[in-house]
Amino acid sequence: MNGLLVLDKPSGITSRDAVNRAQRWFPPKTKLGHTGTLDPLATGVLVVCVGSATRLAEYIQDLPKTYETTLRLGARSDTNDANGTIAHVPNAVPPPLELIRSALDAFIGEIEQVPPTYSAAKTSGKRAYVRARHGEEVALAPRFVRIDCIEILEYEYPELRLHIECGKGTYIRSIARDLGETLGCGAYVTVLRRTGIGPFTPEQAVPLDADVETARGRLLPVAAAVAHLPRVVLGQAEARRIRTGQSVVVPKETVLPEGEVAVFDRDDQLVGIGQQDANGLLRPEKILPE
């Protein structure tokens, strides 16, 4: 029971709830872990690592993500979404489309972003949302995130629908909050759907009410977690050395690229993740069970 499952998380439950429902499809004590939290309000792609694939969760977390979201202008929310306490902005002026386009341009690229107060970001060793719910003062430091694209799909005040492509750690709620402040009218998220994580899409998803046979039949191979990495194939002897934590000489015809590579044996089994060391040898960084 090793591999990846794509879920289409419904609104109203946490990502952990979705994983707990998936747990019933596998034997007791099978490790499961998701690769990127979705807010309870949000729906869409949630990739779950099963068994040995949990060792590769970080590689899926690093993949680019796509979202479709609807923002409500003219009001603010303490959680930056529709689940929070809503405060309408008095005398809010509907911003023209060109002003919105201009404001969104400032979000493209690598930017500093402050996570929402009600988020899983940690402050003083606690989750921010836990401290906020206890009435504590929460001050989160900005962090760098990457936003590749924001496209306006539809605008009819107060509703603004966007398509967003971004990197790891980007909060769509923070984009809504900051856009609303830039426009001077406030904004919060009413609808949020993650439409993709790298190559993983809702069309691959296993329904949460699926039976055991269906769910296990939709399990993707462990190697799908690192399909975006360069691939190196080793003979059985070299693969065994990698599995025991030893560096190996790669075949002469193999040129090792910079950075990490996915290491396979001749049977097309993923051995682990490796990287070239200072001596030109392939050094194991992460090893998977045989």
Enumerate the active-site residues.
39
Q: Kind and range of the H or E element at 222?
A: none
Two tokens at 233?
């194939």
User: For residues 170 and 57, what is the distance between their CA atoms, to the nearest angstrom?
Assistant: 17
3-state secondary structure of 100: helix
Query: What residues contact residue 18 under an 8 Å CB cut-off, 6+ apart?
Result: 7, 9, 34, 46, 48, 208
276, 284 contact by CB (below 8 A): no
57, 15 contact by CB (below 8 A): no
3-state secondary structure of 139: coil
What value, to the nearest 5°, has the Cα angle with vertex 89 and ends 88 and 94? 110
User: For residues 212 and 5, what is the distance between their CA atoms, to the nearest angstrom?
Assistant: 13
Two tokens at 142?
């900005």
What's the residue count for the chain?
290
